[in-house]
Amino acid sequence: MSRDVLVVGETLIDWVPERSGPLETVDGFERRPGGAPANVAVGLARLESPPLFWTRVGDDPFGRYLERTLADHGLPDRFVERDADAKTTLAFVTHDETGDREFTFYRDGTADTRLEPGRIDDATLADCEWVHAGGVTLSSGPAREATLDVLERAAAADCTVSFDPNARSELWADDETFARVVGDALAHVDLCFATVAELEALGIGGETPTASARRAIDAGGPHTVFVTRGEEGAVAVAADDAPWPAAAVDRPGFAVEAVDTTGAGDAFVAGAITALRDGCGLADAVTFANAVAATATTDAGAMAALPTREAAATLLERESD
């Protein structure tokens, strides 16, 4: 039996608009479960590899709804915490005619900011092959220390550690704090998943996405960097010390009719982790992750649209014909 995957981070409610346009012009919203790490965790479960998931929700109707949703997707509740003294985070999503989206958060002192260091014990990490975390819990509260703590100890326990900065400027005091704290996290990371804009916010730029990925590796920390480019696909670069062959690959996205891009990046992460754990090389991992991400955009909501292996395989087969 393969060792566990542990995902760390927020679970929240996404309020998805009934139509595109600025937040002030939208009259109605639909409640959807979300949060980047939660999406990754459910994405892994949908791809037949349910992980452990460390998260914290409020002891309120939204928190109980999220707990039930995670359980319905087959995630164990061992590290799903309920906070009696804090509310569940809410995020209002807006998107334009192309499906691209923005978020407005209600997250002041909410449950996911109150993750506490030490909740994940050393024995759990010893049983884990892979640990993945996102950057939102680094933005404030004791969750910052808790996230850095588990990343550092996971690296020391010889887990493969992956990280998504998931930059949301509204949640950070300033750009300098974001760059400093995320830089601290990257010191413990083997794989980084980021956009070009996120790398630039970290002071890592390049003339091309591949050049940006190489600079991120040269800056120290990750041996493998994936740069996601939305409908254009993704690039990935692996250094000589990666556990898969060193490579630089660029794979296009898949042509689909996008309904909602919320969670597509999280779907990509779940697809890449699944493929690499299955023993795929970097090129095949990027192709599979692109298929998972593209399929996830064809329905509304981040978590609800996460595809099965069969759905991703269907898209791959269609494109190969």
pLDDT digit string, tens, across residues 158-177: 999 999 999 998 999 999 99
State the Cα–Cα distance between residues 59 and 65, nearest whole angstrom.
10
Query: What's the CA angle centered on 104, arms 197 and 183, to 5 degrees?
Result: 40
Domain that holds residue 214: 4-11+35-87+116-320
Residue 82, strand partner residues = 57
Judged by DSSP in three states, 206 sits in coil
Instruction: Let me know if residue 23 belongs to a domain.
Output: no
State the Cα–Cα distance between residues 258 and 288, nearest whole angstrom.
18
Check residue 26 and give its pLDDT: 78
297 in Cβ contact with 258 (< 8 Å): yes
pLDDT, mean of residues 302-313: 90
Nearest to residue 222, comparing CAs of 250, 183, 254, 191? 191
The pair of structure tokens assigned to 235 is 């690039």
Instruction: Let me know if residue 92 belongs to a domain.
Output: no
137 in Cβ contact with 148 (< 8 Å): no
pLDDT, mean of residues 118-124: 96
Q: At what angle do helices 61-72 and 36-46 cross, to 10 degrees?
A: 30
Q: What is the CATH number of the domain that holds 169?
A: 3.40.1190.20
56-113 pLDDT per residue, tens: 999 999 999 999 999 999 999 999 999 999 999 999 887 665 555 678 899 999 999 9
Q: How many CB atoms lie within 10 A of CB 25?
A: 10
Q: What percent of the chain has pLDDT over 90?
A: 79
Instruction: Let me know if residue 170 belongs to a domain.
Output: yes
Instruction: Let me know if residue 51 belongs to a domain.
Output: yes
Tally of structural domains, the chain: 1
Nearest to residue 55, comparing CAs of 12, 90, 3, 23? 12
Instruction: Let me know if residue 285 belongs to a domain.
Output: yes
Check residue 11 and give its pLDDT: 97
State the Cα–Cα distance between residues 201 and 19, nearest whole angstrom.
30
Instruction: Let me know if residue 107 belongs to a domain.
Output: no
The residue type of 292 is V
The pair of structure tokens assigned to 166 is 């998931």
Is residue 318 pLDDT above 90, yes or no? no
The residue type of 72 is D
Q: How many CB atoms lie within 10 A of CB 23?
A: 14
Please state, in angstroms and as integers, the Cα–Cα distance from residue 96 to each residue in 138, 176, 253, 313, following that order: 28, 29, 20, 29
Instruction: Let me know if residue 20 belongs to a domain.
Output: no
218-267 pLDDT per residue, tens: 998 899 999 999 999 999 999 999 999 999 999 999 989 888 788 899 99
Check residue 29 and give its pLDDT: 86
Instruction: Let me know if residue 288 belongs to a domain.
Output: yes
Q: Any idea how long the chain is?
A: 321
